[in-house]
């Protein structure tokens, strides 16, 4: 598929065609020549390039998720519950008199 648009397509480019155009620009083809060939302004092509690079940068910042994330979340929740239980037990022990078993008299 050629990057040269048909006369009726000059105003609309698919994401595939924009990507192909940006890749040509990133391969050091001249902005002005590509703009004339595709019938778009240099500013439009520059904006496509900037958007393309920003999208790539954002994609690299996102940490991929895996099956372990659910398990980690579940375990963190469990640790929180156990920590709260321990705190409540500690407060009860401090508030109540110590437990001393009584001896049974014969």
* pLDDT tens, position by position, 55-96: 888 888 877 777 788 888 899 999 999 999 999 988 888 887
Do 45 and 31 contact (CB within 8 A), yes or no?
yes
CA R_g for the chain: 33
Q: How confident is the model at residue 6 (pLDDT cuts 50, 70, 90)?
A: very low
Q: How confident is the model at residue 5 (pLDDT cuts 50, 70, 90)?
A: very low
Nearest to 44 by CA among 88, 10, 89: 10
pLDDT greater than 50 at residue 52 = yes
């Amino acid at each position: 598929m050629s990057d040269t648009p048909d006369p009726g397509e000059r105003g609309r480019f698919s994401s595939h065609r924009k990507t192909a155009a940006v890749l040509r620009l990133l391969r050091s083809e001249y902005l002005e020549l590509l703009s004339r060939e595709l019938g778009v302004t240099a500013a439009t092509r520059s904006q496509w390039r900037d958007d393309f690079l920003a999208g790539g940068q954002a994609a690299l910042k996102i940490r991929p998720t895996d099956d372990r994330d659910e398990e980690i979340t579940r375990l963190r929740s469990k640790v929180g519950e156990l920590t709260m239980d321990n705190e409540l037990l500690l407060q009860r022990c401090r508030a109540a008199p110590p437990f001393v078993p009584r001896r049974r008299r014969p």
